[in-house]
Structure 1
C-alpha cells in the first residue's frame, strides 16, 4: 500500500487521536506534585503516550518533563522528531467554537493546539506508523519526542530530557512552516519595572505569555471618570472607580505586525485623559517611549536592523502594576547580524533612560544550519516530491523547538501564507494539510533512513 493511501484510510483514526489531545487544556503552569508543568500538562502527556502505545509504539515518560515514542522497540534513534503538547492560554469567549473540543467544518479542524503543536505531533506519529505498516525498512530507529513546556520559552523540558536521554544526531521539529527553516533569529526576553508615582492609575494587568502580542489589558483608575468612546475600548464604574478594558489582536511574537498590541493601544488612550496626574503621565509616556503604538521593529530601543534573516521585532507582552509597583516583560527577536551582548546593552540603556530598572534578561544567539547537508537535502526532496512546489531554505524570527539543538531544523507543518490563527482565537488546520504533512514526513524519514 502507498503511504498516502494508508494515511487516507486512517484519517478518522488520526482525527480521533487529535480530538483526545485537544480536549485537555494543557497550558504549562507551575509544578503540581509530580507534574513539573502542572496537572494538565501531565494529563496530556499520559494521554499521548497511551495513544502512541495503542498505535504500536514503544513509549517512555521522562518524569513528565517530556515523553517519547519509538518506532521500533530496540536500537538507537538516528532521527528525532521534536514536537510539543503544551498550548497557549485562550480567551474562551472570543472563540466561535469551544477551544478545547475539536470541531470540524468545511474541511478544517478547529481547536487549541490543532496547528501548534498537537496536530503536527500526530502527523509525524502517523507518518512513522505508515512506514511500518506499509512494509518499508529503515536503517535505524526513529523517535518522536513530545515536550510539555515549549510555549513558556524556558526550554526546561528539553534540558531535562537531555539529562535523561541522548538527542538523536538528526532532529527536525514540525513546529513552524514549510518548506524548511535552517536559520532562526536570536531571541531575548527581558523583565523591567520599578516604583511608580501614579495617583489616578491604581492598577494595570494584562498578558498571559511572553511570546505573544497581548490582545487584552485592564486598567483601574481612581474615581469615576467620563471617558471618550473608542473602538476596542470599553469602560465601566465599579466600587467607585473606573475600569478600562482595552482589546487588541493576538499574534505570535515573531510576527507582531500581524497583531495589535493592547498595551500600547491603552497607553495611547490613557495619555489623552485630562484627569491623569503628572506621575500617571510619566508612566504612560515612559512606556510609550519604549514601545510606541504600532511600532514592532525596536526602533525606540535603537535596534531596528534588517538583514538576510529578517528585521528585529519587539513585543511588550506582560504587564502588572499594583500598589505603585510595576513589573513588565517583553520579547525581542534579532537578526543574525546582531548578538545578545549588543542587544542587551541597548535594551538596558533604553529601559534605564525611560526611568525603569532592567530586572532580568535572558535569551539565545541566532541559530543557523548548513543548507547543503545530506539531512537538509533529504527534507527538501521529500517536500518537493509530495507537493510539487519549489523546496528551499529560509530564515524566521520565531525561536523554534530546535533553536539550541545543534544541526536541528524546523520542517512544517504550517503552509506559507495561510493564517491558522496560531496563538489566537479559532485556531485551525486544514484536513488536507494534516494529511499532506504526514505524507511529507513519511517521505522524509524514508529519504534519511530508508534501506
Structure 2
C-alpha cells in the first residue's frame, strides 16, 4: 500500500507522459582525467604513496595512510580514512578500469537468442574469463547451475547486497537481411568522443564492468564488507526466456538488499508488464483470375521483439500490363510522399531484376521507449497503402499496421488504451514483420501499467483481434505464444530506496529527484523488494538494443561513484 501511495504522489511527475523523466537534472561533474602516475589496478601502493604526499594528509589521516598496506585488511580505526582514499581512487582511476573491462566483456558475443547459455561457446568463454579475472582480483567466482547465473563475491557471511545484471545481449545483425545498421564493430568496444560504443555497452556489460571494478577496488584496498557478502549476480538469459535466473531466484538465498543495474536513475520502484502478441494472415491458395495489380511477394522488418525496427522492406512484382519500370516510378513517388512526414524517416525504391524493392528507414530504439524512435514499419505500411496492391497476406498485415497502428503509440485505435496515474500509459509497438510459405506475421510488443489484471487485459486483446477481423480482414488470426505479464511494484518500506535516492541526490546535485516507474522489465521483479539503480541518467537517450549502442563515459563514471557510496552506506549498521 505504501508503494501505491508513493506512486500516486509521483503522478504529477509521471502522469501519462513517457516513463523517462522529462525534467533534466542539474549537470553532474565531468569525470576527471585519469592520472597514470597514481592509477594501477594491480597495486594501490602508488596511490597510497601519492595520497601520503598530499598536503591534506595530516594528523590522524596521515597515520592511517601510513598504516594502510593494501590488500591487508584495514583496521577499524582507519576505515573512514581509507574509504575516503578509495573514493578518490575510483574518481581518478575507476573510469579507465571500467572502460578496459567493458571492452573485454563486449568482445564475447553472448547472444542468448542465438546460442544456448548452458552450452554456447561464447558463454563458456566469458565465464572462463570472469572466473580468472575474479581470482586475480581477490574475489570469489561461482557458476550456478548450467550457466544459469554467475556470482562474483566480496566478503564472507550472510548475503547483504546483491547487484543483479545480465551477461547476455541482443543480436547485432538482422537474421534475414544480415544488415546491422552499425557504424562501429558491435563486438569491439570503441570510444568516439565521450561515448563507448558496442553491443552491451549500456545493456548490460558496461554496468557489469563498473560493478566489478568497485568490488575489485574494495578487495584490493583491504576493505572487506562488515555486514556480509556483496555479490554481483550475472544472469545469462535476460534477453531471451529468463529461465536461468528464474531458477536461481527460486533456489538460491536472497541478499538483504537486491539492486538491478539494468535500468535508469534515480531509483526505479515500478516496472510495466511485458506483453507479446503475434497475429498473421495467410495467402489464399485457391485458383483466382490473374491479377492486374502489383503483388507483394516479400516483406521484412525488425530484428527482435524488443526493438522498434529502423529498417523495413517490401518486395513487389508488377502484374497485367504494368512494366517493372512503371511500378518502380509509382513506388518511388509513394516513398517520397510518405517520407515527407519528416523526422528520421526516409525511403527509397530500386530495381532487383524483375522486381521492385521498397526500403523504409527510421530510427531503431528499445521498444520500451518506442516514442523516442521512428518505426520503419509505420512508414512502409503507409507507402504500401498508396500502391493499390493485390490483396494477399503481406498486404493484409501492412494494412493492419497502417490503419490501426501507424502513429498510435498508445493502442487507441485498437481499443487497448488505458493508463495509471503514476506508471503512465499502455505502450504498443509493432516490431517484427516476416513472410514465409504464404504466412505473413506481425509481432507486437506492449508495455502495460498497473490498473488492470492480466485476464482483463487478455480480454482486451481478444477484442482487438475481433476489431481487426471486422475492419481489415476476417481471416486475420492470432498465432501461438501470447504472453501477458504483470506489472511489478517494489516494496519500498525498508531503507534501500531512501538510501539509494539520497546517494543519487547528493552525487548528481539533484535534490528534487524522486523514485520513478519504467516500461522496461529487469531481473529486479524476480526478487521481492528489489529496485533498479542506473545506469541511464535522466535526460540521456537510451540506446540499448539499438544499432550503435553506446553509453556515455560520464554515465559510467557517475555509476562508479554512486555504486561505491551505496555499497558503503548499505554496509553500515544504520544503512539497513
User: TM exceeds 0.5?
Assistant: yes
- 1:6 corresponds to: 89
| Cα distance in 2 between the residues matched to 1:278 and 1:150 | 36
| Cα distance in 2 between the residues matched to 1:261 and 1:103 | 27
| Cα distance in 2 between the residues matched to 1:42 and 1:351 | 43
- 2:197 corresponds to: 110
- 1:401 corresponds to: 523
Does residue 149 in structure 1 map to residue 237 in structure 2? Answer: yes
- 2:563 corresponds to: 441
Which has the larger displacement, 412-421 or 130-139?
Answer: 130-139
Q: Deviations over 1:319-356 (max 9, x none)?
A: 21223212332111111112222221111221243232
* CA shift in 2, pair 1:278/1:61, >3 Å: closer
Which has the larger displacement, 437-446 or 43-52?
Answer: 43-52
Is residue 37–residue 148 contact of structure 1 (8 Å, CA) maintained in 2?
A: no
SS of alignment partner, residue 403 of structure 1 = helix
Does residue 195 in structure 1 map to residue 282 in structure 2? Answer: yes
Q: Give the superposed CA RMSD.
A: 2.4
Does residue 309 in structure 1 map to residue 414 in structure 2? Answer: no
Question: Of 258, 263, 267, which residue of structure 1 is paired with 2:372?
Answer: 258
Is residue 95–residue 560 contact of structure 2 (8 Å, CA) maintained in 1?
A: no
* CA shift in 2, pair 1:290/1:166, >3 Å: farther
* CA shift in 2, pair 1:273/1:13, >3 Å: same
Q: Deviations over 1:351-406 (max 9, x none)?
A: 24323222231132111123342121221222233333224211111112212322
Is residue 212–residue 253 contact of structure 1 (8 Å, CA) maintained in 2?
A: yes
What is the deviation of 1:30? 4.5
SS of alignment partner, residue 160 of structure 2 = strand
- 2:478 corresponds to: 358
- 1:49 corresponds to: 131
Is residue 78–residue 140 contact of structure 1 (8 Å, CA) maintained in 2?
A: yes
What is the deviation of 1:303? 2.2
| Cα distance in 2 between the residues matched to 1:93 and 1:335 | 32
- 1:219 corresponds to: 314
* CA shift in 2, pair 1:432/1:277, >3 Å: closer
| Cα distance in 2 between the residues matched to 1:114 and 1:192 | 33
| Cα distance in 2 between the residues matched to 1:195 and 1:36 | 36
Is residue 301–residue 309 contact of structure 2 (8 Å, CA) maintained in 1?
A: yes
Does residue 276 in structure 1 map to residue 390 in structure 2? Answer: yes
Unaligned 5+ runs, structure 1 = none
- Matched length: 446
What is the deviation of 1:139? 0.6
Does residue 101 in structure 1 map to residue 191 in structure 2? Answer: no
What is the deviation of 1:95? 2.8
SS of alignment partner, residue 307 of structure 2 = coil
Question: Of 506, 525, 528, which residue of structure 2 is paired with 1:385?
Answer: 506
| Cα distance in 2 between the residues matched to 1:285 and 1:108 | 40
Q: TM-score, normalised by structure 2?
A: 0.72
| Cα distance in 2 between the residues matched to 1:403 and 1:249 | 29
- 1:208 corresponds to: 303
Does residue 172 in structure 1 map to residue 259 in structure 2? Answer: yes
* CA shift in 2, pair 1:9/1:98, >3 Å: same
What is the deviation of 1:31? 4.6
Q: TM-score, normalised by structure 1?
A: 0.91
Does residue 430 in structure 1 map to residue 552 in structure 2? Answer: yes
Between structures 1 and 2, the one with greater helix share = 2
* CA shift in 2, pair 1:315/1:53, >3 Å: farther
Between structures 1 and 2, the one with greater strand share = 1
| Cα distance in 2 between the residues matched to 1:215 and 1:271 | 19
| Cα distance in 2 between the residues matched to 1:386 and 1:283 | 49
- 2:148 corresponds to: 65
Does residue 289 in structure 1 map to residue 372 in structure 2? Answer: no
| Cα distance in 1 between the residues matched to 2:190 and 2:125 | 21
Question: Of 243, 246, 249, which residue of structure 1 is paired with 2:363?
Answer: 249
SS of alignment partner, residue 255 of structure 2 = coil
| Cα distance in 2 between the residues matched to 1:163 and 1:238 | 53
What is the deviation of 1:314? 0.8
| Cα distance in 1 between the residues matched to 2:353 and 2:436 | 17
* CA shift in 2, pair 1:79/1:19, >3 Å: same
- 2:44 corresponds to: none
* CA shift in 2, pair 1:184/1:420, >3 Å: closer
* CA shift in 2, pair 1:404/1:193, >3 Å: farther
Q: Deviations over 1:9-37 (max 9, x none)?
A: 344332221111112222222555xx447
Does residue 39 in structure 1 map to residue 121 in structure 2? Answer: yes
* CA shift in 2, pair 1:447/1:295, >3 Å: same
- 2:209 corresponds to: 122
